[in-house]
Amino acid sequence: MDALLGPARLVRAARDVAQVLLADLPERWRHTIGVARRAEQVRGTVGPAEGDVLEAAAWLHDIGYAAALHDTGFHPLDGARHLAATGWPDRIAGLVGHHSGAFCVAEVRGLAGELGRFPREVSAVSDALTYADQTVGPNGRGMTFAQRVADMLDRHGPTSPNALAHPRRAPLLGAAVERVERRLAVVLTA
Ligand SMILES: [Fe+2]
């Protein structure tokens, strides 16, 4: 990864990396396309210089599911590790590592220390990435946040780390979704 990539090339490079890594996971790739499209739709909620960072992180957020990247088995962390190892900016690796409240699940899985090596930003960009991920289902279909949470709990099961982290994580995700919706309302009426 060329650290000197310009903004537009950053998004293209992110998409290309994700497409290769997720080639054997068509459902995950369709989800990724949906999340990237959603991120594009909410670009207006982040600063003008940050839209490309948001879109790049959206393309890359689930690359940790790729078999080639499997290490800890916790996809946000495995994705962030790969990005750091291949020269992507710390900010992108941090956004991927911490997407959708991953630190809550990392604590349940005993991986909080490892994940904590990556910067966890709390910003309009991290909110928008969470919003995009939490309003698009496994196959790329649009969902409400409530539908997405219910589907996640159903798929992962009641004793999964995701379910155990849910009481702490869900309010954080819901608050991020609400912040993005408020910002979108401002953008749309401006
Ligand atoms: Fe995702």
CATH for 173: 1.10.3210
pLDDT of residue 190: 76
Number of domains in the chain: 1
Cα angle value 176/163/179 (rounded, 5°): 5
For residue 2, being part of any structural domain is answered with no
Q: How many whole angstroms from 36 Cα to the centroid of ligand 1?
A: 10
4 Cα to the center of ligand 1, angstroms: 27
Largest CA-CA distance found in the chain, in angstroms, rounded: 46
Domain range for 143 is 7-189
Distance 78 CA to ligand 1 centre (A): 14
Cα of 128 from ligand 1 centre, angstroms: 13
Is residue 102 in some structural domain?
A: yes
Residue 84 in any domain: the answer is: yes
Structural domain contains residue 19: yes
DSSP reduced 3-state for 136? strand
CA of 61 to the centre of ligand 1 (A): 6
Find the 188 Cα to ligand 1 centroid distance in Å: 26
The mean pLDDT value for 81-106 works out to 98
Distance 133 CA to ligand 1 centre (A): 5
User: What DSSP assignment string belongs to 48-109?
Assistant: TTTHHHHHHHHHHTTGGGSGGG-SSS-HHHHHHHHHHHTT--HHHHHHHHTGGGHHHHHHHT
Residue 76 within any structural domain of the chain = yes
Output the CA 54–ligand 1 centroid distance in Å: 14
Residue 188: band (very low, low, confident or very high) from pLDDT cuts 50, 70, 90: confident
pLDDT beyond 80 at 5: no
Torsion of CA 104, 109, 20, 12, to 10 degrees: 20
Round the average pLDDT of the chain to a whole number and report it.
95
1: in domain: no
Whether 141 is in a domain gets the answer yes
The mean pLDDT of 10-15, rounded to a whole number, is: 97
Overall pTM > 0.85 = yes
Could you tell me the distance, in angstroms and rounded to a whole number, from the CA of residue 190 to the centre of ligand 1?
A: 30
pLDDT at position 10 is: 95
User: How many other C-beta atoms lie within 10 A of the C-beta of residue 71?
Assistant: 11
Q: Is 117 part of any domain?
A: yes
Per-residue pLDDT tens over the stretch 45-62: 999 999 999 999 999 999
Cα(15) to ligand 1 centroid in Å equals: 14
- Coil, strand or helix: which one is 142? strand
Q: Residue 79 corresponds to which tokens in the numbers above? A: 């994705």
- Decide: 121 and 110 in contact? Cβ < 8 Å: no
Q: How far is the CA of 22 from the centre of ligand 1 (A)?
A: 12
